[in-house]
């Protein structure tokens, strides 16, 4: 698939494409379906990019400073700033949503090994969704 720059796609078309993607995601019925769908769809580097942003947001919620986040995760300060703006800039929805997900994740009991443990590139999905 040829890469297209976001500014080359009209706003309405971009919005329709993204809405379609999220409609499909929201229609999946279980974590396993979501995991299988995204593992098949995204490249390992795309998974890593998304996962890093979530990690940054988690550390920001724990009040870890920018320099420490950059050092721990080996990311640039611009990425930390961008994630912080996302986390706190769009009202409280993103902040509340992420906190709720983190609390739910902490309360879940660790499950037995799954099929995602078999391949190293799939373990990141297990960690992300468990």
Query: Could you tell me the residue ranges of all domains in the chain?
Result: 44-130
- Number of residues written out for the chain: 130
**How much is the average pLDDT of 85-90?**
80
Higher per-residue pLDDT: 118 or 45: 45
Token pair 């993204």: residue: 18
Interval 27-80: pLDDT, tens: 999 888 988 888 889 998 898 888 899 899 989 988 899 999 999 999 999 999
Q: Residue-wise over 11-49: b if at least 16 C-beta within 10 A, else e? A: eeeeeeeeeeeeeeeeeeeeeeebbbebbeeeeeeebee
Q: Is residue 112 pLDDT above 60, yes or no?
A: no
Q: Is residue 83 pLDDT above 70, yes or no?
A: yes
pLDDT of residue 130: 59
Q: Is residue 126 pLDDT above 80, yes or no?
A: no
Cα distance between residue 22 and residue 37, in whole Å:
12
At residue 86, φ and ψ (nearest 5 deg) are -65, -45
Q: Are 128 and 51 in contact (CB under 8 A)?
A: yes
What six digits make up the tokens of 99? 């906190």
pLDDT band at 109 (very low <50, low <70, confident <90, very high): very low
Cα distance between residue 34 and residue 100, in whole Å:
19
Q: Are 116 and 35 in contact (CB under 8 A)?
A: yes
Per-chain mean pLDDT for the chain:
81
pLDDT of residue 119: 61
pLDDT band at 100 (very low <50, low <70, confident <90, very high): confident
pLDDT band at 114 (very low <50, low <70, confident <90, very high): low
């Amino acid at each position: 698939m040829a890469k297209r720059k976001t500014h080359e796609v009209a706003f309405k078309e971009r919005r329709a494409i993204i809405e379609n993607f999220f409609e499909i995601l929201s229609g999946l019925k279980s974590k396993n379906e979501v995991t299988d769908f995204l593992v098949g769809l995204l490249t390992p580097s795309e998974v890593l990019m998304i996962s890093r942003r979530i990690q940054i947001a988690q550390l920001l919620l724990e009040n870890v400073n920018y320099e420490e986040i950059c050092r721990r995760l080996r990311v640039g300060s611009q990425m930390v700033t961008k994630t912080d703006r996302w986390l706190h800039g769009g009202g409280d929805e993103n902040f509340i949503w992420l906190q709720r997900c983190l609390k739910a994740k902490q309360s879940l009991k660790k499950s037995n090994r799954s099929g995602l443990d078999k391949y190293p590139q799939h373990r990141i999905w297990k960690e992300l969704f468990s």
